[in-house]
Amino acid sequence: MQLNDRRISVGLVGLGRLGRHHAENLAFRIPHCTLTAVCSVKEEEVTAAKRELGVPYGYTEYEEMLKNKELDAIFIASPSGFHCKQIEQALAAGFHVFSEKPLGLYIEEALQVQEVVQRHSDQVFMLGFMRRYDRSYAYAKRQIEAGSIGEPVLVRCYGLDPAQAMPSFLQFAKNNYSGGLFLDMAIHDLDLARWYLGAEAQAVWAIGGSHRYPELDQLQDAETGAALVQFEGKKMGIFVAGRNCVHGYHIETEIIGTHGSLRIGTNPEKNQVTLMDERGVIRECTNGFLERFEQAYLDEVIEFIRCIRENRKPEVTVDDGVYSTILGYACKQSFETGQLVTVQSVSPAKV
């Protein structure tokens, strides 16, 4: 078959908040891709996806989906605690794999997956750090590479989920262990800081608290947290993460360099509309990750499918998953113990 005719047949696991959105993209919006199978432990989600998205095969058991010989790739959007095992199973069964972030919730499992990916180097593996595919974040990276701000030395990030999403998050957190604020939310920013600074983390001090929703204390999580990270070469990271942002979904990043700085999303505006009425001059805020990163969720998957068709590797690697999990876990340890934590150093995979 000519490359241009080749369609990649995908089986997706996890049909929740994000998985269902990915399923719609895979079914209708990604070129050269067919969503052939879906899997969820909730049968009603499988039935709905089959009916509404025209998917021929549905499963409530992941292992059964892996027996489907029509599939080329597995797309993992299940809760974070399942990622490592499901990645290993899919690679062992011969599939290309896309997994949502984080790679894993524990360092040991992330290192184990790194080895498995290394062993299956002829298969494509990609991790869902979609912010790297957001046009503004990608533009900032190109500016840094072009030397526009000199040497990047400090990254400051805000990653704040809307307060209105708190009830659904509390439900999610009770049923699925997310790894906590730093591994679940700040992980995108931790990855971006590594990417922009071109350096790995060495030490972290993290703090946090739950003031409006003390229920989060019982889940050993924090409503709002902050981490101060020392990177190699005396570079620095300041990360604020939270789940109680009353004005909406606020994702903001600043990169300070020796000869300038870049800011992304300083005012997290929904669009270019300004409303003027008796309340004043109003710019609405984005209301969640699906709205803010709509384009990035599409472009990362377009890239995954292209990599399979063109027999090449994506820029986001298993190493990015390992390093970010190690750093996220160090933040979590520091938050829990109140101590400065040294970040474990690891070798990159030889893939």
Ligand X SMILES: NC(=O)c1ccc[n+]([C@@H]2O[C@H](COP(=O)([O-])OP(=O)(O)OC[C@H]3O[C@@H](n4cnc5c(N)ncnc54)[C@H](O)[C@@H]3O)[C@@H](O)[C@H]2O)c1
Where does this chain bind ligand X (CB under 6 A)?
Answer: 13-19, 39-42, 45, 62, 77-80, 82, 100-101, 128, 130, 172, 176, 184, 289
Closer CB to ligand X, 100 or 319, in the complex: 100
Residue owning tokens 């990599």: 307
Closer CB to ligand X, 236 or 290, in the complex: 290
Q: How far is the CB of 58 from ligand X (least distance, A)?
A: 12
Closer CB to ligand X, 289 or 304, in the complex: 289
Closer CB to ligand X, 153 or 157, in the complex: 157
Closer CB to ligand X, 46 or 153, in the complex: 46
Closer CB to ligand X, 100 or 223, in the complex: 100
Closest CB to ligand X: residue number:
16
Burial string for 183-198 (b: 16+ CB within 10 Å, else e) reads bbbbbbbbbbbbbbbe
Q: How far is the CB of 149 from ligand X (least distance, A)?
A: 26
Quick one: which of 97, 276, 253 has its CA closest to 160?
Answer: 253
Q: How far is the CB of 19 from ligand X (least distance, A)?
A: 5
Q: How far is the CB of 183 from ligand X (least distance, A)?
A: 9
- Per DSSP, the residues of 246-297 read TTS-EEEEEEEETTEEEEE-SS-BSSS--EEETTEEE-PBP-SHHHHTHHHH
Pairing type for strands 73-76 and 96-99 reads parallel
Q: How far is the CB of 1 from ligand X (least distance, A)?
A: 31
Closer CB to ligand X, 156 or 188, in the complex: 188
- What are the two backbone dihedrals, phi and then psi, of residue 19, each rounded to the nearest 5 degrees? -60, -40
Distances (CA, A) of 273 to 97, 137, 282: 39, 22, 9
Residue 179, by phi and psi: left (phi above 0), alpha (psi -120 to 50) or beta? left
Closer CB to ligand X, 289 or 335, in the complex: 289
CA distance 341 to 330: 6
Q: How far is the CB of 349 from ligand X (least distance, A)?
A: 21
Token output for 121: 């180097």
- Per DSSP, the residues of 166-234 read HHHHHHHHHHS---HHIIIIIHHHHHHHHHHHT--EEEEEEEEE-SS-THHHHTT--SEEEEEEEEGGG
CA distance 281 to 61: 52
Q: How far is the CB of 95 from ligand X (least distance, A)?
A: 15
Q: How far is the CB of 131 from ligand X (least distance, A)?
A: 8
